Amino acid sequence: MASTSTRPTFGRNKNAATTTSLDAYNVDLKGKLADAGATIIVGTWPPVLKIFQIGLRKGDFDADSSLTSGGKMEIDKIYPLDAVFDKPEDVPEEVKNNKRYAGLEGYTISEVAKQIEADYGKIDILVHSLANGPEVTKPLLETSRAGYLAASSASAYSYVSLLQHFAPIMNEGGSALSLTYIASEKVIPGYGGGMSSAKAQLESDTRTLAFEAGRKHGIRVNTISAGPLKSRAASAIGGKGQKKTFIEYAIDYSRANAPMAQDLYSEDVGNTGLFLCSNMARAITGVTMYVDNGLNCMGMALDAKSMEQAE
Ligand SMILES: NC(=O)c1ccc[n+]([C@@H]2O[C@H](COP(=O)([O-])OP(=O)(O)OC[C@H]3O[C@@H](n4cnc5c(N)ncnc54)[C@H](O)[C@@H]3O)[C@@H](O)[C@H]2O)c1
């Protein structure tokens, strides 16, 4: 039956599982999903779990968590989740014994999926908002095999594995979403360590997973290619101690050269995520959707020195 809704709708009591971002796009998207009636369940990387819990208690995220319906977004449950491990036997001894993992268990993807199924039954929305490249500050030409594969494992295969384990516990008509970056298809100097390769994989996998998960489970799979935002992860990309960091250059470049010369807010990405996860996007799957003030379509830099005399 065709949907006649004119705004994103979920119906109440949809369950949305999302990986955690501490301070960026994902916080806004979670708020939007909660506003639309979704129950928010979060998977958080063990090394930042405590900071996240303390931040929540202190109200650090309150400004981004207020709901249009009044009150603030509640996270129903937080699970420790390390998206580079699929099964308990994949976790090396040094990780198990690491003090940041001490006292935690069940944080591999398959175990978290099982816990969520036991706690909530089926879910409707899955959000992958994580990336990690230990050698991100190194040019690709200087990246080690281990660094390259680690970026790919954390930032790309993690989406494959999440879908592998969560699609079976998703309701038909459900939706999965990840976040990618234009460095997958255009050269962005400074976005190194194989992270550009990992984002290219993520986008290619989005298409194949859309086909496979669409046919097998009746769920949609999309990714948002977001413009630059000064998040914690983005601030670590490079340029620390210099006049400007990588992400600060990227933000200034976008403002100077994008068709829409305006700031990009996490809310812009949150709104698009809400749309893509809602029934309004029921026929959209396999897409990389740009939310970048249109920067992706430019072929010349307006503020290049060589363009100084141009009209
Ligand atoms: N900030 C930007 O300018 C920008 C632009 C385009 C795309 N993105 C993408 O948005 C997504 C969120 O990043 P962000 O910039 O909002 O930064 P962020 O620091 O808020 O999020 C990155 C998260 O990844 C988590 N993480 C790292 N390794 C993990 C692992 N093994 N298991 C589980 N979680 C792990 C970290 O805990 C962190 O919360 C990423 O995919 C990023 O590439 C960001």
CA distance 203 to 209: 10
Closest-CA residue, ligand 1 atom 43, reads 131
pLDDT of residue 25: 64
Crossing angle (nearest 10°) for helices 158-166 and 195-217? 20
Question: Binning pLDDT at 50, 70 and 90, where does residue 74 land?
Answer: confident
CA distance 260 to 146: 39
HSE-up of residue 289 (Cα within 13 Å, Cβ side)? 22
Closest-CA residue, ligand 1 atom 4, reads 228
Cβ atoms of 56 and 50 within 8 Å: the answer is no
pLDDT of residue 2: 38
154 lines ligand 1 (CB under 6 A): yes
What does the pLDDT average to over 82-103? Answer: 96
Prediction pTM value: 0.93
Question: Binning pLDDT at 50, 70 and 90, where does residue 238 land?
Answer: confident
45 lines ligand 1 (CB under 6 A): yes
Question: Binning pLDDT at 50, 70 and 90, where does residue 19 land?
Answer: low
Strand arrangement of the beta sheet that strand 220-226 belongs to:
75-80, 38-44, 14-19, 123-128, 170-180, 220-226, 288-291
Supply the DSSP string of the chain, one letter for each residue.
Answer: -----SS----TTEEEEEE--SSSHHHHHHHHHHHTTEEEEEEE-HHHHHHHHHHHHHTTTHHHHB-TTSSB--EEEEEE--TT-SSGGGS-HHHHTSTTTTT----SHHHHHHHHHHHHS-EEEEEE-----TTTTS-GGG--HHHHHHHHIIIIIHHHHHHHHHGGGEEEEEEEEEEE-GGGTS--TT-TTTHHHHHHHHHHHHHHHHHHHHHHH--EEEEEEE-----HHHHTSS-TTSSS-HHHHHHHHHHHHSSS-S---HHHHHHHHHHHHSGGGTT--S-EEEESTTGGG--S-TT-GGGTT--
195 lines ligand 1 (CB under 6 A): no
What residues are labeled active site?
Answer: 181, 191
What does the pLDDT average to over 172-187? Answer: 97
pLDDT of residue 12: 45
81 lines ligand 1 (CB under 6 A): yes
pLDDT of residue 231: 81
Model pLDDT for residues 209-235, shown as the tens digit of each residue: 999 999 999 999 999 999 999 887 888
307 Cα: distance to centroid of ligand 1 (angstroms): 35
CA distance 41 to 244: 36
CA distance 132 to 217: 29
Cβ atoms of 35 and 68 within 8 Å: the answer is yes
What does the pLDDT average to over 174-185? Answer: 97
Residue written as tokens 């063990």? 46
Model pLDDT for residues 265-302, shown as the tens digit of each residue: 989 999 999 999 999 999 999 999 999 999 999 999 99
pLDDT of residue 20: 52
CA distance 190 to 292: 18
Domains assigned to the chain: 15-229+266-294 (3.40.50.720)
What does the pLDDT average to over 64-88? Answer: 89
What does the pLDDT average to over 52-77? Answer: 84
42 Cα: distance to centroid of ligand 1 (angstroms): 14
Q: Is the model's pLDDT at 24 over the cut of 80?
A: no
